[in-house]
Amino acid sequence: MQISSMLPAQNLHLFEAKRASFRCRGSPLNPVTKPTTSFQSLKSVSSTEVTRLHLSNLEKLLQKQSQPHELDPQPVQKDTDAGSSENKGRGLLEGLNLDRIWPEMKATEEMSPRHLKILQRLLSKTAEYSPRNNLSSRWREYHGSNDWAGLLDPLDENLRREVVRYGEFVQAAYQSFHSDPATSAEKAPSPHHVALPDRSYRVTKSLYATSSVGLPKWVDDVAPDLGWMTQRTSWVGYVAVCEDRREIQRMGRRDIVIALRGTATCLEWAENMRDLLVQMPGDHDPTQLQPKVQCGFLSLYKTRGAHVPSLAESVVEEVQRLMELYKGETLSITVTGHSLGAALSLLVADELSTCGPDMPPVAVFSFGGPRVGNRGFANSINDKNVKVLRIVNSQDVITKVPGMFVSEGLDQKLRNTTAVAGVLDVLDNNMPWAYSHVGTELRVDTKMSPYLKPNADVACCHDLEAYLHLVDGFLASNCPFRANAKRSLVRLMNEQRSNVKKLYTSKAKALTLKVERGGMGMAMSSCLPSPS
């Protein structure tokens, strides 16, 4: 039905009567849009023509189902600059003129729909991952066959996803332990339930670490309620194997994962402090630098519990069982851990590499790991073709201990000097704190994150979720945090709120925006201003 047919001709004089008071103004819902025609240009036109023109425009608008900001008296000219990206996303929210509601904020930029969509995704509790690309043709390269050459700086997208994925295996170990930390001293423990982040894997073995030392009896008298904090044997991780055929095809092999958590109990902390280097068990070439490792780490790895085997025995036994079960298939072994778990990962990988005649490739992905042994141990790892990728935060002090506070780069420069190299070799053989890092380094930095405070505390710089946040945003050493980071900020906000910039913590609860469009609600709860 035409709009003009709804108005009798005799009523057309009403528009002429109000002509003197009529002014063509921009819509208050869209202050940035200017009308394209003024009333002055219509003076010479007859009243009937003016009326018909306005009715025609009104009819077009009603038939179009336009957005609220488009309700101007005159048709709005479209921006024909196809190369301009600044105007994209400036729709309804910009038209609402939010700088009047929140004057301290830049409404057109920080509150644009584009940024709100990004922040809604980052603050969503639903994890979003980078695409799972097919790795079958290059899986050995991503597993470290070439020491990740050419993949780290800039960081390869597929490798980034693999690093974050293995870090989440360690997070699952933390969550499983803290949900049930106590271990019975009278009987063998029951299997731990582990909620794996990747459902294509299945847990096949629980792993336990036992301290060779115990707390004195007076500790129980002074603090009898410490409970599991003083137990000698604790659940430390698990073995899992990929069983999904499509995932095996995508990765190019069946992957066996050993995931180990970091320090949790009092006795584990006590073992961390036993930082003297001791000889690695086994036969070694007397003409070479003897491999030595930290006393406490070796103790946790080799000591048997009252009702459980040692960590070393459990891992070797389970991996050998899985190798026999999947004999004839292409396999890989990936050991991953954080903090203490990163240190134990090196000991696990060192032993697994020689526990059978046809061992699959062994790789370690460690997060925030301390130094574990001397240069002889590092040489032994390399000789056994164990590939190690150390993810290191520049602000994390744990990665600089134990041993002398000398950077790996300076140490390498000194060893390239003939006069100094001989002295350092003598120190390696005789000093009880001559530690050395192992493997290839992927270095991230807390200061690169637009969300974290640059002076974040030690706990934040060592936190595993902070590590995964930094890896997810890392592009290259000379690039800022990537704008299309995928990882949710919810866990980072929950665990490190005091180290998140005040801008984000203050707006997280204060800002709730709901826009209804076409009868459908688009709720954005607890959105934060975009860092970009």
Per the annotation, the verdict on 396 as an active-site residue is: yes
306 within 8 A of 391, measured Cβ to Cβ: no
Instruction: Give me the phi and psi of 395, to 5 degrees please.
Output: -90, 0
Q: In b/e form, how buried is each residue of 425-440, taking b as 16+ CB within 10 angstroms? A: eeebeeeeebbbbbbb
Q: H helices within 367-489, ranges in order? A: 375-383, 408-415, 418-430, 458-462, 464-473
Say which of 112, 310, 339, 488 is annotated catalytic.
339
Task: Give the span between the Cα atoms of 532 and 521, in whole angstroms.
Answer: 26
Residue 313 is which amino acid?
Answer: E
Of 72, 255, 350, 396, catalytic: 396
Partnered with residue 515 across adjacent β-strands are 522
With tokens 């005159």, the residue in question is 74
**358 included as an active-site residue:** no
209 burial class (0-12, 13-18, 19+ CB within 10 angstroms)? buried
Instruction: Give whole-number Cα distances, 122 to 116, 119, 197, in Å.
Output: 10, 5, 18
Nearest to 387 by CA among 425, 350, 422, 341: 350
Q: Is 339 a catalytic residue?
A: yes
Neighbouring residues of 138: CB distance < 8 A, sequence distance ≥ 6: 158, 252
Residues 6+ away with beta carbon under 8 Å from 10: none
Contact between residue 469 and residue 449 where contact means Cβ atoms under 8 Å apart:
yes
Question: What 3-state class would DSSP assign to 336?
Answer: strand
How far is the C-alpha of 81 from the C-alpha of 136, rounded, in Å?
Answer: 44
What DSSP letter does each residue of 489-505 carry, written as one string? SHHHHHHSGGGB-HHHH
Whether residue 104 contacts residue 468, with contact meaning beta carbons closer than 8 Å, is answered with no
Spatial separation of the C-alpha atoms in residues 301 and 335, rounded to whole Å: 14
185: its two tokens: 């001293």
Chain-centre distance of CA 259, in angstroms?
Answer: 17
Q: In whole angstroms, what is the distance from residue 373 CA to residue 378 CA? A: 7
Cα 407 from chain centroid (whole Å): 26
- Backbone φ and ψ of 209, nearest 5°: -120, 140
- Which structure tokens are listed for 61? 């608008």
Considering the candidates 143, 192, 437, 462, report the single residue annotated as catalytic. Answer: 462
Close Cβ partners of 176 (under 8 Å, ≥ 6 residues apart): 192, 193, 194, 195, 235, 238
> What is the set of active-site residues?
339, 396, 462
